Amino acid sequence: MNPKDLRYDKEHEWVKVDGEVAVLGISDFAQDQLGEVVYVDLPAVGDELVAGESFGEIESVKSVSELFSPISGEIVEVNEALGDAPETVNEDPYGDGWMVKVKMGDASELDALMSADEYEAFVAEEA
Amino acid sequence: MTEELLRTPLYHEHLSLNARVVPFAGWEMPVQYVGIIEEHKAVRSSVGIFDVCHMAEFRFFGFGVFEALNAIVTNDLNKIAEIGSALYTVMCDEDGGIIDDLIVYHTGDLEYLVIANAANRQTDWDWITAHLPEAIEAVDESDRTGLIAVQGPKALEVIGSLADEDFEVPARFHIGEARLGEIPVLLARTGYTGEDGVEIVCHADHAVAVWRLLLSFAEVTPCGLGARDTLRLEMGYPLYGSDMDRGVDPISAGLGWVVPKAKTGFIGAEAIARVREAGPSRKLVGLTVSEGVPRHEYPVLHDGTEVGKVASGTYSPTLGHGVATAYVPAELSAPGTELVVAIRRKHVAATVVRPPFVKETSLSALSS
Burial of B184 (0-12, 13-18, 19+ CB in 10 A): exposed
Q: Are residues B253 and B295 in the same domain?
A: no
Residues of B in contact with A62 (CB under 8 A): 31-32, 36, 226
Residue B367 pLDDT greater than 80, yes or no? no
- 8 Å CB contact of A36 and B230: no
Residues of B in contact with A39 (CB under 8 A): 291-293, 315
Q: Are residues B307 and B265 in the same domain?
A: no
B295, B326 Cβ separation under 8 angstroms: no
Q: Are residues B88 and B236 in the same domain?
A: yes
Q: Is B32 on the interface with A (CB under 8 A)?
A: yes
Residue A74 pLDDT greater than 80, yes or no? yes
Q: Are residues B225 and B327 in the same domain?
A: no
Residues of A in contact with B35 (CB under 8 A): 35-36
pLDDT tens profile B268-318: 999 999 999 999 999 999 999 988 999 999 999 999 999 999 999 999 999
Q: Decide which of B262, B279, B296 is a domain's last residue.
A: B279
SS3 A71: coil
Q: Decide which of B253, B279, B305 is a domain's last residue.
A: B279
Q: Are residues B187 and B253 in the same domain?
A: yes
| Mean per-residue pLDDT, B185-207 | 98
> What pLDDT band is residue B12 in, cutting at 50, 70 and 90?
very high
- 8 Å CB contact of B344 and A61: no
Ordered domains of chain A (ranges, CATH): 7-107 (2.40.50.100)
CA distance B6 to chain A (A): 22
Q: Are residues B204 and B295 in the same domain?
A: no
Q: Are residues B163 and B199 in the same domain?
A: yes
| DSSP structure class, residue A110 | G
Q: Is B38 on the interface with A (CB under 8 A)?
A: yes
Q: What is the number of structural domains in chain B?
A: 2
Q: What's the order of all strands across the beta sheet hosting A13-18?
A: A7-8, A13-18, A21-26, A100-104, A73-78, A48-49
Closest partner residue to A61 (CB to CB) among B292, B315, B346 is B315
- 8 Å CB contact of A61 and B314: yes
Residue B239 pLDDT greater than 60, yes or no? yes
pLDDT in the model for residue B354: 96
Which pTM was predicted?
Answer: 0.94
Q: Are residues B92 and B227 in the same domain?
A: yes
What's the CA gap between A69 and A113, in Å, rounded?
A: 11
CA distance A107 to chain B (A): 31
CATH (domain of B1)? 3.30.1360.120
Domain encompassing residue B361? 281-368
pLDDT tens profile B94-129: 999 999 999 999 999 999 999 999 999 999 999 999
- 8 Å CB contact of B344 and A59: no
Residue B164 pLDDT greater than 90, yes or no? no
Percent of residues, chain B, with pLDDT higher than 90: 94
Residue B1 pLDDT greater than 80, yes or no? no
Q: Are residues B101 and B249 in the same domain?
A: yes
Q: Terminus-to-terminus CA distance in chain A, angstroms?
A: 16
Q: Are residues B230 and B293 in the same domain?
A: no
Average pLDDT, chain B: 96
- 8 Å CB contact of A35 and B32: yes
Tell me which residues of chain A have a C-beta less than 8 Å from any C-beta of chain B: 35-36, 38-39, 41, 57, 59-62, 64
Residues 6+ apart with CB under 8 A from B291: A39, B321, B322, B343, B346, B348
Q: Are residues B210 and B299 in the same domain?
A: no
Closest partner residue to A36 (CB to CB) among B36, B292, B314 is B36
Q: Residues of B numbered 290-329 whose beta carbons fall under 8 angstroms of chain A's beta carbons: which are they?
A: 291-293, 295, 314-315, 317
Residues of B in contact with A36 (CB under 8 A): 35-38
CATH (domain of B289)? 2.40.30.110
What's the CA gap between B187 and B156, in Å, rounded?
A: 11
> What pLDDT band is residue B203 in, cutting at 50, 70 and 90?
very high
A-chain residue closest to B33, CA distance: A35
pLDDT in the model for residue B368: 64
Residue B2 pLDDT greater than 80, yes or no? no
pLDDT tens profile A13-56: 999 999 999 999 999 999 999 999 999 999 999 999 999 999 99
| Mean per-residue pLDDT, A104-125 | 94
Residue B161 pLDDT greater than 70, yes or no? yes
What's the CA gap between A26 and B99, in Å, rounded?
A: 44
pLDDT tens profile B325-360: 999 999 999 999 999 999 988 999 999 999 999 999
Residues of A in contact with B344 (CB under 8 A): 57, 64
Q: Decide which of B264, B279, B294 is a domain's last residue.
A: B279
Residues of A in contact with B230 (CB under 8 A): 61
pLDDT in the model for residue B191: 97
- 8 Å CB contact of A61 and B38: no
Q: Are residues B147 and B271 in the same domain?
A: yes
SS3 A118: helix
Residues of B in contact with A59 (CB under 8 A): 292-293, 315
